[in-house]
Chains A and B, each alone.
Chain A
Amino acid sequence: MSNNLIEVRNLVKHFEVSKSVFSRNKKIVKAVDGISFDIKAGETLGLVGQSGCGKTTTARSLCLLDPKTSGSVNFYNPDTQNMESIDNIDEDGMRIFRRNMQMIFQDPYESLNPRWTIKDIIKEPLDIHNIGSFNEREEAVMEILRTVGLTPPENYLNRYPHEISGGQRQRVSIARTLVMKPKFVICDEPTSMLDVSIRISIMDLMLNLAKELDVSYLYITHDLAVARYMCNRIAVMFNGKIVEIAETEELLQNPIHPYTKRLISSIPIPDPKYVRERYEINFDELDKIVKDNPNEQMVDVGNNHFVATHETKEYLIES
């Protein structure tokens, strides 16, 4: 048995939208259309792609914020030491699942309750899950504040979110998430709202905590440069599908799918001497190819590098 923490198979999430209130013709938006991936314990998988490609929908379906349309998601249950499906989960199972899977959101200005003190915000999950005695909870809050670098914790306990800066707020979000000692955390662009000089300290904090607390991340971002810094592996999403997945350096050095190439070539390079060449693709055509091959599989091209089949046919003949 591999040490997978989460296994996703053919995850599908469709939204029904009607053109007008009275229209009977429902249109289906295929936000996530059959994606599969595994995340190992202690690993960080990056999910990159343009806005609207289904990154956030994937995250929301994974942690059951939105019910998925079909597909299976198996999660490692540390209590039974088995992979368990998140479908038909009972109340106890749900509690275990929620404890082990947490989410950090993009906007630290909107994701913290403005009327609660930092202590209330961080303690809430402990209260809900009824973890520890009153004193133990207080102690846990102090400890996690120290862990995320908000020291001395006494200075922060009774403050409100508006009294601290953006970087500190994101630290509070991370503290609230990690106080549960989860095994798996979904991060939805947690640093995109932060300033450059502060961004790195949050990214470093998350990397260190991953090692210390043995946490796996699913790291959602549209910035490959950030993904390179954070992730062991990267999955590239296009229109609801994963088109390429590989270890970070492998993906950046040897991209195969044209969309991956386009994405890589559109990242500005902080070096004025370097002349970046754009890899142009026809998005309409690519969209059509992806839509016309709804059931295609990923092909292994070696080095733990997988690409959507429509792009590897030629490649495979060549080699």
Chain B
Amino acid sequence: MPDLLLEVKNLSMHYDTLDGNVDAVKDISFSVKSGESFGLVGESGCGKTSVAMTLLQLQPDNSVITEGSIKLDGKELIGLSENDLRKVRWDSISIVFQGAMNAWNPVIKIGEQIREAMREHYPENSKQENIEKIDELFKMVGLDGSISERFPHELSGGMKQRAVIALALSCDPKIIIADEPTTALDVVIQDQILNEIKKVQDLLGLSLIYISHDIAVIAEMTDKIAVMYAGSIVEMGPTKDIFENPVHSYTRALLDSTPSIRGEKRKLKSLDGEPPSLINKIDGCSFAPRCPDRETKCNPTEHMRLVEIAPDHFVDICSQGKQ
């Protein structure tokens, strides 16, 4: 059994704003083994990206971690000094941001920008060594080595995104967080990038945290998923179990609202209402106002809290019915 690489326990974080506290992450626990792909899925504003940022300790200044721990390889990340964090970031854990392809500096060649990160982390390497390493990484993500001599504007969106993945791999991390890495790309390019990420992951034995709102992509990319709603995880378990036997009403609603090109054409079901604003403290279950099973199963006074219903399959308590 592979050991736990990343362990997040009871993590809670809020943003301190002029209008009040925004509870972006509420009591979240999950773990990722080495070589495993873990998916975080949910609608915009459900706290997916906040979790990613907190994992890297890159959250904005107005955020407050109220409790919890993040252990990477047994080492606690919360409370580490900026200097120690710099060693962890990229060396052990790196991230491909949403729209990262637009984050390249337009006046510096791609290769130079990647070398910059490598110089920081491996000061002992010679320039030649770094250049060879970059060539190798580019090959891995399906890019030509000559790309490193190009400027960002000379590349297409898909190529820039591949280069971002190469950059994320440049310091041999053990785990990569991919935050909606394909949202700005069209279907064919998305398909190629997903393929590339999977190939690299298998080749290097990396762990992956894949964040997306797209159920179909999550189904293909991950071994294990957590469904997030309003800052909490409402259901978590092996991807196959969750797709075969979704228990929580929100998970079922997400699956029911995803169109597919395979199988019988079916009527899709929409979910009424909108996600709650996280600025107001929510008493009881935050999904209750939209819950389709409100009348029969729901227990709106119960706070969201996970219980294990099958090995490794955790579901929010509310789906256990009225108590």
CA distance A197 to B268 in the complex (A): 10
A residues 162-189 near B (Cβ < 8 Å) are 165, 167
A224 at the interface (CB under 8 A from B): yes
Residue A159, interface by CB 8 Å: no
- A276 contacts chain B at the CB level, 8 A cutoff: yes
Q: How far is the CB of B216 from chain A (nearest CB, A)?
A: 4
* Residue contact B274 to A228, C-beta cutoff 8 Å: no
A51-B272 Cα distance, complex, nearest whole Å: 31
A266 contacts B190, C-beta separation under 8 Å: yes
Q: Is the interface of A mostly helix, strand, loop or mixed?
A: helix
Q: How far is the CA of A269 from the CA of B269 in the complex (A)?
A: 18
Contact status B270-A197, CB under 8 Å: yes
* Interface membership of A226, Cβ < 8 A: yes
B239 lies within 8 A of A272 (CB): yes
Cβ–Cβ contact A269 & B216, under 8 A: yes
Given known A-B contacts A196-B254, A225-B261, A272-B239, A263 and B268 have beta carbons under 8 A apart: no
Complex: how many Å from CA A315 to CA B215? 37
Q: Which of A262, A265, A266, A272 has the most CB of B within 10 A?
A: A272
Closest to A248 in B: B265
CB <8 Å contact, A270 and B257: no
Residues 70-99 of chain B, each 1 if its beta carbon lies under 8 Å from chain A, else 0: 000000000000000000000000000000
CA distance A266 to B270 in the complex (A): 25
Task: Given A195-B44, A201-B270, A229-B259, decide whether A273 and B240 contact each other with a Cβ distance below 8 A.
Answer: yes
Q: How far is the CA of A49 from the CA of B231 in the complex (A)?
A: 36
A200 near B186 with CB under 8 A, answer: no
B219 touches A270 (CB 8 A): yes
Name the residue in B217, B254, B257, B269 with the highest tally of chain A Cβ atoms < 10 Å from its Cβ.
Answer: B257
For A222, list chain B residues within 8 Å (CB): 186-187
Does A136 sit at the interface, judged by CB under 8 A? Answer: no
- Shortest C-beta distance, B49 to chain A (Å), equals 14
User: Contact: B254 with A268, CB < 8 Å?
Assistant: no
Contact with B along A242-284 (1 / 0, CB 8 A): 0000000100100000000011111111111110101000000
Is A50 an interface residue when CB atoms closer than 8 A count as contact?
yes
Q: A267 contacts which of B187, B215, B269 (Cβ < 8 Å)?
A: B187
Chain B stretch 265-317: residues in CB contact (< 8 A) with chain A: 265, 268-272, 274-275
Complex CA–CA separation, A223 to B258 (angstroms): 12
User: CB-CB contacts of B131-151 with A at 8 A, as 1s and 0s?
Assistant: 000000000000000000000
Distance in Å: Cβ of B27 to nearest Cβ of chain A: 23
In Å, the complex CA distance between A274 and B243 comes to 12
Is A267 in contact with B254, judged by CB distance below 8 angstroms? no
Residue of B nearest to A228 (CB): B261
CB <8 Å contact, B270 and A165: no
**Bound CA–CA A199/B253 (angstroms):** 12
Q: Give the residues from 202 to 233 in chain A that come closer than 8 angstroms, CB to CB, to chain B.
A: 203-204, 222-226, 228-229
Residues of A near B240 (CB, < 8 A) are 272-273
Cβ-defined partner of B262 (8 Å) among A167, A197, A266, A269: A269
Q: Which 8 A-B pairs have the closest CB atoms?
A: A266-B191, A201-B270, A268-B216, A200-B270, A197-B271, A225-B259, A270-B216, A195-B43
What are some 9 contacts across the A-B interface (CB < 8 A)?
A196-B254, A197-B253, A224-B261, A228-B261, A229-B259, A267-B216, A268-B191, A269-B262, A276-B220
Q: Chain B interface (Cβ within 8 Å of chain A)? A: 43-44, 186-191, 194-195, 213-217, 219-220, 222, 239-240, 243, 253-255, 257-262, 265, 268-272, 274-275
Other contacts beyond A262-B188, A263-B188, A278-B191: 4, CB < 8 A: A50-B186, A224-B261, A268-B194, A268-B216
